[in-house]
Amino acid sequence: MSQPAATGTAAGARTRTAALATICAAQTMFLLDTMIVTVALPHIQTGLGFTGPDLEWVITAYGLVFGGLLLLGGRCGDVFGRRRVFVVGLVLFTAASLTAGLAQHPWQLVASRAIQAAGAAAASPAALSLLTTTFPEGPARNRAISIYTAIGTAGGGVGLLAGGLITSFLSWRWIMLVNVPFGILVIALAPRVLAEAGRRSGRFDVPGALTATLGMTLLVFGLTRAAADPSGTVHWTDPSVLASLAGAALLLGLFVLVERRSRRPLMPLRLFAGRARLGNYLTIVLYSMAMTGISFFLTLFLQRIWQYGPLRTALVFLPMTGLLVACARASGPLLRRFGTRTVVLVGLSVAVVGIGWLSMMDGAGGYLTDLVLPSTLTYAGLGLAAPPMTVEALSRVDEQDAGIASGVFNCARQLGGAVGLAVLGTITWTTVAAHRVLPDPAALAIGIDRGFRTAAVLVGLALLATILGAIPGRRPAVVPVGQ
């Protein structure tokens, strides 16, 4: 078992830097993969002969498996070793990327996407928990998390740009195959730069794993179905949606009962002890609901109303992605100076103003006043608020629970995104259906504006939770040099 270098030496600093680079490279692959596929969907449909409804499964299969297995993946890292689970997840993801790129039939691509997601669900919580065990709590960890969050946040924008370039100049197959060399490189580096954490002994919580995985899968499926069809129909009343959400509520309720009685719980309920931590998870969910919906519907607005092509749309998101990265990176020093609550308050306040401004976009709007300026405020605020929420979610967690704490954090983001897309989608498409007397672009613009207003309300609720004290106002502890 490899051990980390002494934290006070130059060699130790280099080892931690290499570990951070390895973790961030893996996380970028997982996050980039979702958006890069979205741009290429029309080419995938033509290349493999997907029907319209079946094409949704290229995205849905990934989201379902990823969301359903995150808690299980987080606990597997605690029980079997985080570095081991991280590498196994990467191997699965890389191998499935190869089979996806070589797929000759629709079912082969969908199956490969599901295996990709299983690998990502194992490796992603392990990656974040490895980061928390590599860097001591305090300024060093805050800097690492701000870099991790900045790079992870950039995944969506980079995915759009990369998807547009690869699809335009190469083939949709390369959006899958490009993961292979990067995955092999990270797999080779991981044992060299990542130290294996101690494993928990004892039995694995099989009832908890089954109820959590099935419950999360049904929940993500129901939410995905609720926002699947832009026809204007309110899909919350669809029997499959109602059955999925009811089944999810039953299974997740049973999961909580199992965890309360288990001697070795999959998810110790002590992780939710205290108003501060529970409130921070609520803030993360609300934040993710707004951010996912904004990215989706802003892309739709540019392509359907302003008639931008995929590559031009991707280029529009490039500076926004850079802004997210810059603000997320800047939040590290701000955290040390002002504390988590202040940074989150400022970030969310700026984002509310930007999203509210975006809700006034229309088909005849100007590029600078309707897109650039409000988007700058929106993405600067969201980028600034993300790292302190991550820091708070992983603070004061026992080393033995670092993996599941990372899994819960990732679940909050994943479920927030699924819920946000379903809620904003329902509001948007219902509004479009109510304005059918108008030309399609005008009706769509009104619907998207309503969706943006809803996103502003969600961020406002996250801001309110922070003001009421959900996130503590203390500054991160200062760790003396050499500790």
pLDDT score of 13: 67
Percent of the chain, pLDDT > 70? 79
- The predicted structure's pLDDT at residue 95: 93
For 229-257, the pLDDT digits (tens) are 555 455 777 788 889 889 989 998 898 88
Q: What is the mean pLDDT of residues 217-221?
A: 79
pLDDT band at 465; cut points 50, 70, 90 = confident
Q: pLDDT band at 2, cuts 50/70/90?
A: very low
In the structure, what pLDDT confidence band is assigned to residue 155 with cuts at 50, 70 and 90?
low
Question: Which pLDDT tens digit goes with each residue over 275-287?
Answer: 667 777 888 888 8
The pLDDT, as a whole number, for residue 99 is 93
Q: Encode pLDDT of 338-373 as tens digits.
A: 877 888 888 899 999 999 898 887 767 677 788 888
Report domain extents, the chain: 1-195, 269-475
Answer whether residue 482 shows pLDDT above 50. no
DSSP per-residue letters across 42-78 = HHHHHHHT--HHHHHHHHHHHHHHHHHHHHHHHHHHH
pLDDT of 469 above 70: no
Spelled out in words, what is the top-level CATH class assigned to the domain 269-475? mainly alpha
**Does 331 or 448 have the greater pLDDT score?**
448
What residue has token string 């759009």?
160
Query: When comparing pLDDT for 138 and 66, which is higher?
Result: 66
Is 79:402 a contact under the CB 8 Å cutoff? no
pLDDT exceeds cutoff 80 at 75: no
Average pLDDT score over residue span 58-86:
78
Residue 390 has pLDDT above 90, yes or no: no
Q: What pLDDT was estimated at residue 316?
A: 77
Higher confidence at residue 110 or residue 227? Answer: 110
Q: Is the per-residue pLDDT at 44 higher than 70? A: yes
CA distances from 6 to 16, 81, 337, 481 (A): 10, 21, 27, 12
> Which residue, among 450, 10, 120, has the nearest Cα to 112 in the 3D structure?
120
Q: What is the mean pLDDT of residues 13-17?
A: 74
Mean pLDDT on 402-421? 74
Residues 415, 285 contacting (CB under 8 angstroms) = yes
Give this prediction's pTM: 0.73
| Structure confidence at residue 233 (pLDDT) | 53
Nearest to 350 by CA among 321, 323, 310, 319: 323
Tell me if 1-195 shares its fold with 269-475.
Answer: yes
Contact 36, 156 (CB under 8 A): no
d(CA 479, CA 388): 17
Greater confidence (369 vs 9) lies with 369
Q: Using pLDDT thresholds of 50, 70 and 90, give the confidence band for residue 199.
A: low
> Mean pLDDT across the stretch 326-331?
76
pLDDT at 5 > cutoff 50? no
Average pLDDT along the chain: 76
What was the pLDDT predicted at 115?
Answer: 92
pLDDT digits over 45-65, tens only? 777 877 655 666 777 778 778
478 burial (CB, 10 Å; 0-12 / 13-18 / 19+) is exposed
pLDDT range class, residue 321, cuts 50, 70, 90:
confident
- Rounded distance, CA 332 to CA 315, Å? 28
* Highest mean predicted confidence (pLDDT) among 42-46, 360-364, 462-466: 462-466
- At the fourth CATH level, the homologous superfamily of domain 1-195 is MFS general substrate transporter like domains (1.20.1250.20)
Confidence of residue 479 (pLDDT cuts 50, 70, 90): very low
Q: Is 232 left (phi over 0), alpha (psi -120 to 50) or beta?
A: left
Question: pLDDT class for 156, splitting at 50, 70, 90?
Answer: low
**Residue range 148-165: average pLDDT?**
66
Q: Report residue 201's pLDDT band, with 50, 70 and 90 as the boundaries.
A: low
Average pLDDT for 73-78: 77
For the chain, the helix, strand and coil percentages under 3-state DSSP, each to the nearest 5: 80, 0, 20
User: Any idea which of 53-57, 179-183, 220-224, 306-310 has the lowest mean pLDDT?
Assistant: 53-57
Q: How many Cβ atoms are within 10 Å of 457's Cβ, its own excluded?
A: 15
Sequence-separated (6 or more) residues with CB below 8 Å from residue 82: 126, 129, 130, 133, 196, 197, 402, 403
Residue 480: the pLDDT is: 36
